[in-house]
Structure 1
Amino acid sequence: MAINIRILTPDRIICSTTADEVILPGTTGQIGVLDGHATLITALDTGLLRIKLDQKWTPMILCGGFAEVDRNQVTVLVNDVEELVALDLAEVTKELEQATIAIETAETSKGRLNASIELKKAAARVQAVGYLR
Structure 2
Amino acid sequence: MADKIKLEVVTPERVVANEHVDFVVAPGVEGEIGILPFHAPLITSLDIGILRYTVEGKTEKIALSGGFLEVKGNKVVVLANAAERGEEIDVERAQRALERARERLARRTPDIDVLRAELAMRRALNRLKAAGKM
> What band does the TM-score fall into relative to the shorter chain?
0.7 to 0.9
Gapped runs of 5+ residues in structure 2?
none
| Structure 1 residues 86 and 76, CA gap change in structure 2 (3 angstroms) | closer
- 1:36 aligned to which of 25, 38, 62: 38
Aligned residues: 131
1:19 is aligned to 21
Gapped runs of 5+ residues in structure 1?
none
- 1:49 aligned to which of 48, 51, 65: 51
Q: Aligned equivalents of 2:80 and 2:124: distance in 1?
A: 18
TM-score by length of 1: 0.78
| Structure 1 residues 6 and 99, CA gap change in structure 2 (3 angstroms) | same
Q: Aligned equivalents of 1:60 and 1:14: distance in 2?
A: 8
Q: Aligned equivalents of 1:109 and 1:71: distance in 2?
A: 48
Secondary structure class of the residue paired with 2:10: strand
* AA in 2 matched with 1:75: V
Identity %: 34
- 1:64 aligned to which of 60, 63, 66: 66
Over the residues paired in the alignment, what is the CA RMSD in angstroms? 3.0
| Structure 1 residues 94 and 73, CA gap change in structure 2 (3 angstroms) | same
2:5 is aligned to 3
Q: Aligned equivalents of 2:23 and 2:67: distance in 1?
A: 19
Query: 8 Å contact 1:7–1:78 — kept in the other structure?
Result: yes
Q: Aligned equivalents of 1:18 and 1:103: distance in 2?
A: 41
Query: 8 Å contact 2:86–2:131 — kept in the other structure?
Result: no
| Structure 1 residues 92 and 33, CA gap change in structure 2 (3 angstroms) | same
Which structure has the larger Rg? Answer: 2
Q: 106-115 vs 43-52, which deviates more? A: 106-115
